[in-house]
Structures are given as structure tokens and as C-alpha cells.
């Protein structure tokens, strides 16, 4: 049997970004079985401490050093998480600093921007599409079928 390792996707939001980016990287390692754990909404030092305890418990289990993929925006919360005995890979630190330098602009460090309703028109269209799908699910209604895209 190949190597086994636990991977934590830690985020101050839903964790989708950390999962997607982390999973893309993990697929490159054949022969390693990854136990993937998503830990969303880590937006305070207290929640980060609880997350560190989970990671430390896994590290003590003898299954190898856990891997942590992080998309935490808040640097103080990120520093708490760094104390865990784990391989810590932070997507914001890796990419934000070079982007700030290359663009000559400081980032906003705002939590949840990638999945927010910043564009109200786009958000409204998404909500209307969901409502349409719900109203017409499993053939519940055919009267507006011509409006489907």
C-alpha cells in the first residue's frame, strides 16, 4: 500500500478555493492516498487555535506530517495556524506579495471577495437561474421552457 497523508483545506470562507487549488496539486502525486479535510470559516484566532488542535491530533496519530493548504486573508489568524506541526502552504502569501510588487498596488486583504456578490447584476442573474431551475425541476412546470438557456 502507498503512503497515506491527511490534508487540511483551511479557509476563512467556504474553503472552495483552497480545495480546488490544493486538489489540483495533489493529483500530481500518484501512490499517495490523501484523507482530505475541509475546515471552513476560520476567521478568528480562537477558531484557528481549535483548528491547530485538530491538526496536532492528526500529526500525533503517526500517519505522517499533515499538509495544510490555506487561503486565510488575516495575517494574525494565519500566524496562529502556522504553529501547527504541518507542512503549511498558503496561497495568499505565495501569490499576493508578488502580485502587489508586480502591480505596484497593495491588495485589500478582504475576506470572501472571490465568492461575493460584488457585481450585483451578475449575482441577480445567478439567483434568477437558480429560481428557474428550482421551479422547473423534474418537469414541475413546462410553461416557461422557451426561456431556458
Which cell goes with 1? 500500500
Name the grid cell of 88. Answer: 503549511
* Distance from C-alpha of 22 to C-alpha of 42, rounded to nearest angstrom: 17
- Residue 80 within a domain: yes
Do the beta carbons of residue 86 and residue 67 sit within 8 Å? yes
Q: Is residue 100 part of a domain?
A: yes
The answer to pTM > 0.85 is no
Q: Is 88 inside a domain boundary?
A: yes
pLDDT, average across residues 94-102: 89
In a domain, 53, yes or no: yes
Question: If pLDDT is split at 50, 70 and 90, which confidence band does 60 have?
Answer: very high
Residues 69-91 have pLDDT tens digits of: 999 999 999 999 999 999 999 99
- The domain containing residue 59 runs over which residues? 3-107
Q: How many domains does the chain have?
A: 1
Residue 13 counted as domain residue: yes
59 inside domain: yes
Assess if residue 10 is contained within a domain. Answer: yes
Which residue's entry shows cell 470559516?
41
For residue 125, being part of any structural domain is answered with no
Q: What is d(CA 5, CA 7) in angstroms, rounded to the nearest whole number?
A: 6
CATH code at position 66: 3.40.50
Amino acid at each position: 500500500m502507498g503512503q497515506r497523508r491527511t490534508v487540511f483545506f483551511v479557509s476563512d470562507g467556504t474553503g472552495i478555493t483552497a480545495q480546488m487549488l490544493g486538489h489540483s496539486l495533489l493529483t500530481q502525486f500518484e501512490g499517495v492516498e490523501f484523507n482530505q479535510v475541509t475546515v471552513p470559516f476560520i476567521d478568528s484566532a480562537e477558531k484557528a487555535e481549535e483548528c491547530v488542535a485538530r491538526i496536532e491530533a492528526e500529526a500525533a496519530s503517526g500517519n505522517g506530517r499533515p499538509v495544510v493548504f490555506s487561503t486565510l486573508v488575516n495575517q494574525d489568524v494565519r500566524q496562529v495556524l502556522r504553529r501547527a506541526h504541518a507542512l503549511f502552504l498558503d496561497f495568499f502569501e505565495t501569490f499576493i506579495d508578488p502580485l502587489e510588487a508586480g502591480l505596484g498596488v497593495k491588495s485589500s486583504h478582504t475576506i470572501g471577495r472571490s465568492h461575493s456578490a460584488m457585481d450585483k447584476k451578475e449575482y441577480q442573474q445567478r439567483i434568477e437561474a437558480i429560481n428557474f431551475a428550482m421551479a422547473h425541476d423534474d418537469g414541475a412546470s413546462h410553461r416557461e421552457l422557451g426561456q431556458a438557456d
